[in-house]
Structure 1
Amino acid sequence: MTFSIAGRCEKTGQLGIAISSSSIAVGARCPWLRANVGAVATQNVTLPALGPMILDHLNDREIDPSVALDRALGTDAYSDYRQVTVLDARGRTAFFSGKQALGINHAVAGNQCVAAGNMLTSIEVIEAMTPAFERTSGALADRLLAAMRAAMEMGGEAGPVHSAALKIVGEQVWPIVDLRIDWADDDPIGKLAVLWQAYAPQMQDYITRALNPTAAPSYGVPGDE
């Protein structure tokens, strides 16, 4: 029903998540990120509250992601239904797949990344994601999307994929990338990649406009001089 990857850029410290699902609007409830703290993907039978709760625990930089994950799951009477991945600001990872996770499910950690999924065609879908992230160069978004494409090439979900999302945090408290395909009859991951290619050249402009409007480039709208 869902597969995802959380990753960290060692050069910039950016944290990001790319995720897709057969359900509508996966980006609205599953990826949770906090700058300089961590990234959490909450999936399967999703409890969105786990994301902020785990990030709150990770605010204490001495707490290992596995401890933060265990503490959050300990508050959930239905933890057997959850699948959760955690990545902290130092690149440490943790993951959990409950006994009630749907269909073929799997999770794996790599170097500065962690991937998981459920209702898969095979566990090889997830096994392909972390190597794709590790061997891809360039921006964090490109590396995350490469992992998603690798998952689809291995068969992806058992059913059709309908939504996808890409979310990244950097130095600011707000996401510097928050792109979503909330519903598509076909290839939402491909549509998300196209959306990223359109957004990428403008990303820094939006950061500049927020931090120093006097240094902002032209807005490119009618009436802007």
Structure 2
Amino acid sequence: MARCAETGMFGLAISSSSPAVAARCAFARAGVGAVCSQNVTDPSLGPLALDLMQGGMSASEAIAGVRDLGRFIEYRQVLAVDKQGRTAIHSGPNSLGIWTDAQAENVASGGNLLANDGVPQAIVDGFLGASGHIGDRLIAAMRAGLAAGGEAGPIHSAGMMIVDDVSWPVAELRCDWTEDCPIEAIATAWDVYKPQLRDYVTRALDPRSAPSYGVPGDE
């Protein structure tokens, strides 16, 4: 998960051997931050951390609040990035398999059931080494993590979420189950969606100024 220092966008990408991982683990709020709640997941911790940051807490203060308020926190991994690009991570001692995390300014990564303990750092390095739209950088980060070993077993689901200056995600792409590579499925969806992203925002805000919908019968 990451913040774009140039645009203020927040985004996150995630993959897992479990189905529909992004539906349970991915949370972001425009102007506030991004949060991943993972490993024996408690989805309520994502909105909790975002509420704490929206109330004025930093990422580290919000993660401390999650530790205080969350249940069975020793089983959870929770990662946060705030509007200043500060990051914080909680990885409970009962996280599964090989687990670890890595972080830098504007980006943080964590994982469990990993092939090796270098995967999160590879993801961070992949993000920092890429350029362009935050979505492009998130895809580069996930590919870097996969190249470094990824999860110990096959992955079946993935997702990517991006928020900008409206109350809903400007991109929320998911592959909830596949026997192929879900990260590449998300990458393909992003290639299609990226050129249309702003059009969908315009259509929501003012359909009178929206470009052609590109469907049969539309002029």
TM-score in same-fold range (> 0.5) = yes
Band the TM-score falls in, shorter-chain normalisation = over 0.9
Report matched runs for 1:35-184 at 5 Å: 35-61=30-56, 63-184=57-178
User: Which stretches in structure 2 are left out of the alignment for 5+ residues?
Assistant: none
Q: Name the aligned partner's letter for residue 20 of structure 2.
A: A
Counterpart residue number, 2:19: 24
Q: Is structure 2 residue 167 aligned with structure 1 residue 203?
A: no
Q: Name the aligned partner's letter for residue 52 of structure 1.
A: P
Q: In structure 2, the residue corresponding to 1:128 is in which secondary structure?
A: helix
Q: Is the 8 A contact 1:26 1:165 kept in 2?
A: yes
Q: Name the aligned partner's letter for residue 162 of structure 2.
A: I
Aligned length: 219
Q: In structure 1, the residue corresponding to 2:170 is in which secondary structure?
A: strand
Q: Which deviates further from its counterpart, 123-132 or 78-87?
A: 123-132
Q: Is the 8 A contact 1:110 1:131 kept in 2?
A: no
Q: Is the 8 A contact 1:50 1:73 kept in 2?
A: no
Report how far residue 155 of structure 1 moved: 0.7
Report how far residue 73 of structure 1 moved: 2.3
CA separation of 1:209/1:77 partners in 2, compared to 1, >3 Å: closer, same or farther? closer
Report how far residue 127 of structure 1 moved: 1.3
Provide runs of 4+ in structure 1 moved above 3 Å.
none
Q: Is structure 2 residue 207 aligned with structure 1 residue 213?
A: yes
Could you tell me the TM-score, scaled by structure 2's length?
A: 0.98
User: Which stretches in structure 1 are left out of the alignment for 5+ residues?
Assistant: 1-5
Could you tell me the TM-score, scaled by structure 1's length?
A: 0.95
